[in-house]
Every structure is written in C-alpha cells, then in structure tokens.
A and B are shown apart, each in its own frame.
Chain A
Amino acid sequence: MKIDPKLIHQTFLRNKRRERIKVTLVQIIILISFFIFWEVAAHNGWIDPLLFSQPSRIWALLVEKVMDGSLLPHIWITLLETVVGFLLGTLAGTVLASIIWWSPFLDKVLEPYLVVLNSMPKVALGPLFIVGFGPGFGSVMAMAVAITVIITTITIYTSFKEVDENYIKVIRSFGGKKGHVFQYVVFPASFPTIISTLKVNVGLAWVGVIVGEYLVAKEGLGYLIIYGFQVFNFTLVMLSLLIIACIAALMYQGVYYLERWLLNNK
C-alpha cells in the first residue's frame, strides 16, 4: 500500500483537534461542577453559607450592584491603580537598571542596598506610604510600585549584564561609545526580558494594589473585601474575589498578547 503524507498530516491534525476539544470540555465541566457543588453544598448546609456564601447569592448581588452602578467605580479604580502601578514599576525599574549599567561603580555601591530592599517585605512599608502619600490613590500606587520596582531592576540589570561581549565588540569596533552600545546592543538584546517582566509585574502589582486598598482605601475591590469582612457580608467578599480573579486573568492574557505582538514586530 502506498503511504500518502497528506493523509497522515490530516489524521495528525484531526487528532490534535480532538485532543484540544477534550481538554476544553473537561475544563468547562470542572468549572461548572465546582459552582454546582458549591451551590448545593451551601444549600444543604454542608458548608456554612454565612462564611462561603453561595453562587446564586453572589450572582444576585452582582446583578444588583451592576444595576445600581455602585460596582463599576470600584472595579475601575482598582484596574487603574494596577495598570498604572505595573507600568510605572516596570518603567522605573528599567530606568534604574540602565543607570546602574551605565556606571559599574554605582553597581558595586548599590549592590547590598538592592539585596536588602529586594528581600524586605515591601508591605511593611505601608504605614510610611500612608503618611507620605496620604490615605488614598497615592499610597496604593506607591505600594504597587514598591513591590514591582526592585525585582524589575534586578531582573533587567542581570539581563543587561548577560549580553554577549562580542556584540559589544562589534559596535566598539565601529567606534561606538557607551551610548551606542546601549542603544544598539544592550537594550534591544534585553527587550524580551523587559517584556517578560511585564508579565511578572502584573501579578505583583495586583498584590500591591489589593494590600494597599486593605490598608487605606475608601474605594476599590480591595476595599470591598475589607468592608465585606467588617460587616460580615461574605457574599460581597466572594464577589470581589471572583471579579479580581477574572480581571487579573484577563490582564495577564492581555500582556501575553502584547508580549507576542511586541516581540514579533520589533
């Protein structure tokens, strides 16, 4: 019998497609069963509905809060804080890394400070931020930036230093100065690393923003969680958590597409 490569390819594609469908199907089933189980368990008192709430109540609250327009401002402010926080943290980290790269002396001087700052839990700085930036948007931003900036600096600086010396030699052999080396070699070579820190920073900025809102805010999803906890409205807590999970996942996915787009278009 003659073997037809086309047929083999088609079979291969069909199997791939089947596998993908199966995976997606199981994922959906898990999600739906999780909510059904949650609903049933709360309804029958297997779990304490006061503590764990239940999907139908969360849904009702969501509809109610969307209708009276009291939810969107909270989502908006948290989203804004997170996006600005992680962009600012990444930008500041990149600039700091560039300055350190520029001066080997500064690198040696700053090393122990960076180590200390990196290992210190930034959340502990909360009280300072509140006093410094006032209770509100400023402190929350500061928290998000504080959590992202040091690790960004360290990651990007490391990638600056790991650029192959020979590429630098190429530019130097054309009479290039330090600025040229940075512009033509070090920065573009580290671009993928900078982009990938964006992805890490999305997650970190969320931590900073939510913690910041726990501490000071009068609005935002973190505030809703704390508020719900204080008045023992766990339906509100659960709703906020679910919204955070959804938005964070969407944002992460967005950065993932941004990363792919930037890396293909440079």
Chain B
Amino acid sequence: MSDSLLVMEKVTYIYVTKQQAITAIENISFSVQEGEFVSLVGPSGCGKTTVLSCLAGLLKPTAGRVLLDGQQVRGPTRRIGYMLQSDYLFSWKTILDNALIGLKVEGQVSKEAEEQATYLLNELGLGHYKHSFPSQLSGGMRQRAALVRTLMTNPDILLLDEPFSALDYQTRLKLEDLVSSILKKHKKTAVLVTHDIGEAIAMSDRVIVLGKNPGRIKKEVVVPDHIRQAVPFYAREEQGFYDLVRLIWKELEYDED
C-alpha cells in the first residue's frame, strides 16, 4: 500500500441540499499503483463521478482522505488531470487555444508549450485543425482535443469520467485504442469511470465494481495479463473476456433489487 501513487482512504461524501442530506459514497477505499489503469463501473447513481471529483480535489470528502504520493489532496493539483464526459471545449477558442487553457490558468504559456501542444495535436491526428473552432470538428475529434488539453499540463494521473459515452460506437472503439496507447506511451496512471463493462475490462488492469444507495465498493476484479496486453479492440476477442463481463454483469444485476 505504501508505494501506491493514489490512495482513497475510507472516503465518505454527503451531498447536503435544502431538502436533505444524501450519502453519495460511503467508506470507499482503494489504491492505484503508478502506471496502472483502474476502471470504476457501476449503475447510474452509484457515485462514480463523486469518487472522481474527490480524487481530483474538486470535492472535499466529508470523511476520510485522498492521498497522492502520501500527501493529502486538498484541492485541484496539476499532477491530476480531469477529463469530462462531454468534451467541454470552449466554443470561442481555437483548438490550439483550448489545448493551452490549462497552462494559461497556471500562467505558463510559452513558445515551447505551443510547440508541445502542436506536437500532441499532430499525434492525435488534429494537426490540421489547430486553428479551427470546436464547432467545426466531429464529436470524436473534439474528445481527442479535450484529451490533448488534459495532457498539456503534464499530469501524472488522468481521471476519465465516461469520456467515450457520448460518441458513436465506431468512434468510441477507435478512441479507446488511441487513448490506451497514448497513456501507455506517456506512462500515465489512469482512473476511468464508465458504465460500459466491456470498455472497462478492455482498457484496464483492474476493475472496481460499485454498488449504489449509498455508493460503495462491491468487488474488485483483476484483469488477466493476456487481456491486459491486447489493445482494447482486440482484447474483446481474447479468451476469458466474456467470462469477466458476465461476472461483473451478475454483480451489477444483483444490485438492481
């Protein structure tokens, strides 16, 4: 546990509104090793996004704590990048300016940063579009641009909040492969939230299954090596893949009653 990069320790989060206080997640503990890809799956309303927001330092846990390299996370840090479900690119900025926004907030825009952004945009096949506006791009391209924006501040850990769920199936599969290879190449640690069991298994090293009311960990599934090593698209054809899907499916189904 001591060498874990990111640790969530007995975290409980309670949303308070005028009408009531709702326990979104309760007593959640898990850790992520450096370079590991961990997925969180669960039914809607199980607090997946709350878990990510706590990890990102955007929400302060009601109880428990989040540790990054043994240090408690107290607010957003540049070591953790956050990618949202929809791309949320700023429509009034060009793709390049969108990619640079994180550095701009930190006041660190430079010629090198611009070159780095151009390099990453090229790498993700967006080189020709750096001066375009988001509205001129397709959904898949926009999500890739959002990935560049997240990578630009050079975070060690990427939190991915259902980044593929708004895309059509084909784009989604292609993007899974792309993201998976980019993260491996840049040696990033990642936590992915998804409701797609197949996607979770195909992309990650470990899958954490959450239950709801309140959100809690039900099961942790380690993905076997041979599935892990295949790129996501082919991982789905590996032996044992569908056994895992079935296993997690049952776990989730059980929660419905």
Report the Cα distance A191→B90, complex, angstroms: 13
The size of the chain A interface, using a CB distance under 8 A, is: 18
Does B105 reach chain A (CB closer than 8 Å)?
A: yes
Does A184 reach chain B (CB closer than 8 Å)?
A: yes
Which residues, 167 to 186 on A, are CB-close (under 8 Å) to B? 167, 169-176, 180, 184-185
Does B193 reach chain A (CB closer than 8 Å)?
A: no
Given contacts A171-B105, A184-B104, contact A191 B92 (CB under 8 A): yes
Does B201 reach chain A (CB closer than 8 Å)?
A: no
CB atoms of A167 and B81 under 8 A apart: no
Q: Which of A166, A173, A266 has the most CB of B within 10 A?
A: A173
CB atoms of A172 and B88 under 8 A apart: no
CB atoms of B84 and A174 under 8 A apart: no
Does B222 reach chain A (CB closer than 8 Å)?
A: no
Does B50 reach chain A (CB closer than 8 Å)?
A: no
Report the Cα distance A174→B76, complex, angstroms: 7
| A127 contacts across to B, CB distance below 8 A | none
Does A73 reach chain B (CB closer than 8 Å)?
A: no
Does A188 reach chain B (CB closer than 8 Å)?
A: yes
Interface size class of B (residues with CB under 8 A): 20 to 34
CB atoms of A170 and B88 under 8 A apart: yes
Given contacts A166-B86, A169-B58, A169-B84, contact A174 B92 (CB under 8 A): no
CB distance from A251 to the nearest CB of B (A): 27
CB distance from B71 to the nearest CB of A (A): 15
Number of A-B contacts (CB under 8 A): 52
> Pick the contact of A175 from B84, B86, B105 — CB < 8 Å?
B105
CB atoms of A174 and B106 under 8 A apart: yes
CB distance from A90 to the nearest CB of B (A): 20
Cβ-closest 6 pairs across A and B: A173-B82, A174-B102, A176-B105, A174-B105, A175-B76, A180-B105
In addition to A164-B88, A170-B88, A174-B153, 16 A-B residue pairs with Cβ atoms within 8 Å of each other are: A166-B84, A166-B88, A169-B88, A170-B82, A170-B101, A171-B101, A172-B58, A174-B76, A174-B78, A174-B105, A174-B106, A175-B78, A188-B90, A188-B92, A191-B92, A266-B92
Please list 19 pairs of residues, one from A and one from B, whose beta carbons are closer than 8 Å in the complex, sorted by A's number: A164-B88, A166-B88, A171-B101, A171-B105, A172-B76, A173-B76, A173-B82, A174-B76, A174-B101, A174-B102, A174-B105, A174-B153, A175-B78, A176-B76, A180-B105, A185-B90, A188-B92, A189-B90, A189-B92
